[in-house]
């Protein structure tokens, strides 16, 4: 599956800093050095002093300029625009510190506020470390749930976010996400599969421009349960969900054995694969596009993309982190923003 959106100019992307002790600062600096590949300016929500210190530490010739969203486009060609936060980012690379959690949280909140206020077109998030945030009292299960909470209106319900991993060759969605494997069968319900399928169908049409999205659903069990011989969930849970989606006019098929769904010939038969648990979805896309895959959150009222990797504390500050996934996330955010503008 290849999606080719036009690359005309326009959007400003709001980039959250992620955990300042991780590789987020390094890949952001390196992404600016390769800015001609992105085709859109971006504004980083971070501590300018921290970004300058990391550029000097890594020997990267990146001028850092403090500015706000209204100035970012003019600054971007000659310097990395960084919008200061009220909290400093003091963590050393590779040494996560709960004291920096307020700056990480504020960065995400500010990025969302800029997009919701019309000052930026999309949110691109650098990786966070949930355990660091938890130590500071962060109440949300993860990054995506926090973004969903920020999307809710005053007193209103948060939207149902759906994680999609995307590259030009493959798009995959795990129906259950960060759930222990032994808990997946209990967490997987027909209602959850249907709700996820609806959002994927809607967003593939609205954001990606696929007129009639084709959804392929994996089975939960080996061989998709082999008619109940290897578990009943595929007959009792997955198949009814596919039937419900089809009755709503959604082109959903399956359940298919996961081990035969991701080779090149099979991929030609669908636009998005819905997998029943985390590794079913992430193993194939990371095998195909480890440095190019992008995490896209569907179901939010704004565009959000992210690199498909973590904070990598073990290599932070060593100068070896590759910015490819962040660059891919920035490029996709820009492309989706332009598509949204044309559709408005």
pLDDT by 10s per residue, the chain, length 344 = 333 333 344 799 999 999 999 999 999 999 999 999 998 999 999 999 999 999 999 999 999 999 999 999 999 999 999 999 999 998 999 999 999 999 999 999 999 999 999 999 999 999 999 999 999 899 988 898 899 999 986 667 889 999 999 999 999 999 999 889 999 999 999 999 999 999 999 999 999 999 999 999 999 999 998 999 999 999 999 999 999 999 999 999 999 999 999 999 999 999 999 999 999 999 999 999 988 999 999 999 999 999 989 999 999 999 999 999 999 999 999 999 998 888 76
C-alpha–C-alpha distance, residues 67 and 46, integer Å? 11
**pLDDT value of residue 162:** 96
What order of strands is seen across the sheet that includes strand 303-307? 64-66, 80-83, 42-45, 13-16, 122-125, 303-307, 294-298, 162-167, 170-174, 272-275, 214-218, 251-256
Whether residue 60 is found in the same domain as residue 147:
yes
Asked, for residue 298, whether it belongs to a domain, the answer is: no
The phi, psi pair for 285, rounded to 5°, reads -75, -35
Classify burial at 134, counting beta carbons within 10 Å of its beta carbon; exposed 0-12, middle 13-18, buried 19 or more.
middle
- Both tokens of 244, joined, read 């419900």
Asked, for residue 301, whether it belongs to a domain, the answer is: no
Residue 35 belongs to a domain with what CATH number?
3.40.718.10
Whether residue 94 is found in the same domain as residue 126:
yes
Asked, for residue 222, whether it belongs to a domain, the answer is: yes
Whether residue 147 is found in the same domain as residue 195:
no
C-alpha–C-alpha distance, residues 283 and 55, integer Å? 33
**Predicted TM-score of the model (pTM):** 0.91
C-alpha–C-alpha distance, residues 53 and 48, integer Å? 9
Domain that holds residue 261: 169-288
Whether residue 260 is found in the same domain as residue 136:
no
DSSP string covering 61-98, please? ---EEE--HHHHHHHHTTSEEEEPPSS---PPTT---G
Asked, for residue 249, whether it belongs to a domain, the answer is: yes
DSSP string covering 209-234, please? --SS-EEEEE-SSGGGGTTTTT-SHI
Whether residue 340 is found in the same domain as residue 250:
no
Whether residue 65 is found in the same domain as residue 199:
no
- Whether 123 and 144 have beta carbons less than 8 Å apart is answered as no
Whether residue 11 is found in the same domain as residue 146:
yes
Asked, for residue 98, whether it belongs to a domain, the answer is: yes
Whether residue 86 is found in the same domain as residue 63:
yes
Whether residue 185 is found in the same domain as residue 266:
yes
Whether residue 81 is found in the same domain as residue 216:
no
Asked, for residue 299, whether it belongs to a domain, the answer is: no
Whether residue 136 is found in the same domain as residue 252:
no
β-strands 272-275, 122-125 pairing: unpaired
Among residues 177, 195, 197, the alpha carbon closest in space to that of 273 is found at 197
Asked, for residue 302, whether it belongs to a domain, the answer is: no
Asked, for residue 307, whether it belongs to a domain, the answer is: no
Domain count within the chain: 2
From its phi and psi, is residue 155 left (phi > 0), alpha (psi between -120 and 50) or beta? left
Q: What distance lies between CA 59 and its chain's CA centroid?
A: 29
Whether residue 92 is found in the same domain as residue 29:
yes
C-alpha–C-alpha distance, residues 14 and 40, integer Å? 11
β-strands 303-307, 214-218 pairing: unpaired
């Amino acid at each position: 599956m290849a999606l080719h959106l036009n690359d005309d100019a326009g959007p400003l992307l709001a980039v959250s800093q992620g955990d300042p002790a991780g590789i987020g600062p390094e890949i952001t600096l390196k992404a600016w050095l390769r800015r001609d590949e992105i085709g859109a300016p971006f504004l980083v929500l971070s501590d300018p002093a921290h970004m300058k210190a990391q550029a000097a530490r890594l020997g990267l010739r990146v001028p850092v300029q403090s500015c706000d969203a209204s100035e970012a486009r003019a600054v971007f060609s000659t310097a990395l625009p960084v919008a200061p936060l009220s909290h400093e980012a003091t963590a050393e690379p590779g040494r996560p510190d709960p004291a920096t959690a307020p700056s990480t949280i504020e960065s995400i909140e500010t990025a969302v506020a800029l997009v919701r206020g019309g000052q930026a077109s999309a949110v691109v998030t650098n990786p966070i470390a949930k355990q660091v945030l938890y130590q500071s009292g962060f109440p949300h299960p993860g990054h995506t749930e926090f973004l969903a909470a920020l999307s809710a209106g005053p007193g209103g319900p948060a939207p149902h976010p759906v994680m999609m991993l995307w590259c030009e060759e493959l798009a995959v969605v795990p129906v259950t996400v960060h759930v222990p494997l032994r808990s997946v069968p209990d967490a997987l319900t027909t209602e959850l599969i249907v709700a996820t399928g609806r959002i994927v169908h809607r967003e593939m049409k609205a954001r990606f421009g696929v007129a009639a999205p084709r959804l392929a659903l994996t089975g939960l069990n080996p061989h998709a349960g082999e008619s109940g011989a290897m578990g009943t969930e595929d007959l009792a849970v997955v198949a009814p969900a596919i039937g419900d989606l089809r009755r709503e006019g959604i082109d959903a098929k399956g359940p298919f054995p996961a081990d035969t769904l991701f080779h090149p010939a099979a991929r030609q038969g669908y636009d998005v694969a819905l997998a029943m648990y985390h590794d079913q979805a992430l193993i194939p896309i990371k095998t195909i596009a480890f440095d190019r895959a992008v995490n896209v959150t569907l179901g939010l009222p704004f565009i959000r993309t992210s690199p498909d990797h973590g904070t990598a504390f073990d290599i932070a500050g060593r100068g070896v982190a590759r910015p490819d996934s962040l660059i891919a996330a920035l490029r996709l955010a820009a492309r989706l923003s332009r598509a949204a503008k044309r559709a408005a």
